Structure 1
Amino acid sequence: MAKGKAIRIYSEPAGGWGALKATGEALALQGVAVSGAKTLLRMNQPEGFDCPGCAWPDAKHTSSFEFCENGAKAVAWEATAFRCTPDFFAAHSVSELTAWDDYDLEMAGRLTHPMAYDKATNRYLPIEWDDAFALVAKHLKGLDSPNQADFYASGRASNEAAFLYQIFVREFGSNNFPDCSNMCHEATSVGLPESIGVGKGTVLLDDFEKADAIFIFGQNPGTNSPRMMSDLHSASRRGAKIVSFNPFRERALERFASPQNPVEMATLGFTRMPRGHCG
C-alpha cells in the first residue's frame, strides 16, 4: 500500500515548469519515461489519438505539444509498465480490495488476463478468452429483449475503443449507452433548452480568439480542462476581460505560465488571468 505524500504550500503559478516536472514524474512513476514521452507527441495530433483526459476540442495543430499535465498523467496510467496478473487476485480477496483506495488499485497495473468473480472463494479467477466471451453471450442471449441491457461507456476509454463498442451493441439491437457524462449533461439537456433553446453549449473554439470578455461560472478549468487555459492565456494577453464566478480561487485562474510560451518558460514569468473574481 502506498504511503501518503505530504501536502506542501505551492506558491508558484499554475502550469510552467511545475507542470512539466509533474508530467515527468508521472511518466517515471509508471515506468514509461521514454516510451510515454514518445506517446505524448502523438496525442491530439492529426495522425495520432485523442486525449482520454477531457473533451476540449483540438486547435489548429500548430504545436507538437498539444497536451496538458492532466492528459499526460492519463496517458501515463494507460501506458503503465505495471501488470496485474492472476497472481495478484490469488493473493487478495475482493473483500480486501474494497478497502484499498483508488490510487493503490490503479498502481496494481493493467490486467493481463480475463478474470471472472468466484463467489465461493470471494476472488477473481482467470478464465480463457473463449470462456469469457461465452459467459457474456450467455447472459445477453438470456434476455427477453436487447433493451433490457445497459452498456455502460466510460469517458476513460479511447474514441477507437468506444467506436467498436457501440458497433457491437447496436448490432446486438440496443442503443442503451449510459455513460459517465450523463452525470454532467443530463441536467444541461433539460435546463439549456428551457433557458437558451438549445440543449448544448453554443460557444465555438474560435470565439475565444475574438471575445472581448469571457465569463466563467463555477468552473475549474485548470483542474478539469487544462487545455482551456491555453485559450484563456492568449485571451488575457491580448487584453480580453476574464471574470470568474467561483468560491474556489483556483491558481490557474489567478496566475498561469504557459509551457508553450518560450518567453515565460525562459524567464520564469507568468500571465495574470481574470481581471475580476467573484466568490
Structure 2
Amino acid sequence: MSENLLIHEEHGILRLTIDRQARMNAIDLDTMSELGETINAAQTRPEVRVIVLTGAGKAFCTGADLAAAAAAGGNEAAPETVMDRANDLVRAIVDSPLPVIAQVNGPAAGVGTSIALAADLIYAVDTAYLLLPFTSIGLMPDGGATAVVAAAMGRVRAAELALLGARLPAAEAAAAGLITRSLPAEELSAQVDAAAAQLAAGPRRALQLTKAAINAATLAHLDDALAREKTGQVELLTAADFLEGMTAMLTRRAPNFDGAVRPIAHPAK
C-alpha cells in the first residue's frame, strides 16, 4: 500500500484520498495504478457500497507529476504505459458497479480533472476550479476529457478549455452541468457525507443498473475517445514540444514552441 493513497472504510463507504500535498496531489504512476486497483477490488466486497474520491490538503489532484518526469529526463516510463495507467483508472471509475463520488476539495487540473469528471456525482468547493493545461506543455487532454467535457458543455466551450487552457471555476462548471454542485467549504463534507450515506443504504443492484444505463446513454463514445487520446498523447509525449513545455513550466518561463514536430533526443542507454 502506497503512503500516497489514504484508504478508509466505514459504514459501507470507501474513502480514497490522494495524499501528495507537497506536490498539490500531482499523481505519480504508482499511485495512479494503486487507485485504479483499489477501485476495481472494491466491487468484489459486498460490504462496500459507495466510493468517495478526494485529495488531502488544498487540492484535489493537479495532474500527472511532471517533476518526476523531469527528474527522469522525461522518460520515467514508456508513453504507452503512462496512457494505459491513466485510461485504466478512468475506466475503473466509470465501469465500477458502485457509485463513485468525487469530493473536489480544491483545484483539479490535467488528469485530475479527468479523474473527477469520471465520477457519478461531483461536488466541488466553490473556490475550486477545473483546468486542462495540456496544450501549454505540448500535450492534449486525456483520460476521456475530450469526450466528457464536450458532451456536457458543447464543442465550443470544450475547445476554450482545451485549446486555451482556460480555468473553469466550480460555480461555472456546475452551471454548465459538468459537475453536480458547487458548495461553500463549510458545506462540502456534509453534502458528500449525506450523499454517500444515502447511496450506502440504497439497493446495490438497482444503483448499479441505473449507473450502467446512464453511462451507456451518455458515454457511449468514451472508449473511442480514450483510444484517440492515447494515440495522440503517445506521439506528443515523444515530441520536442513536450520537453520544451515541461522544462519551461518547471523553470517558470514562457515556452518557445517553434512548430516543428521532432522526437525527443534521448541519450543512448
Give the TM bin, normalised by the shorter chain: under 0.3
User: Which structure shows the higher helix fraction?
Assistant: 2
Q: Structure 1-normalised TM-score?
A: 0.21
* Larger Rg, first or second structure (1 or 2): 1
Q: Structure 2-normalised TM-score?
A: 0.21
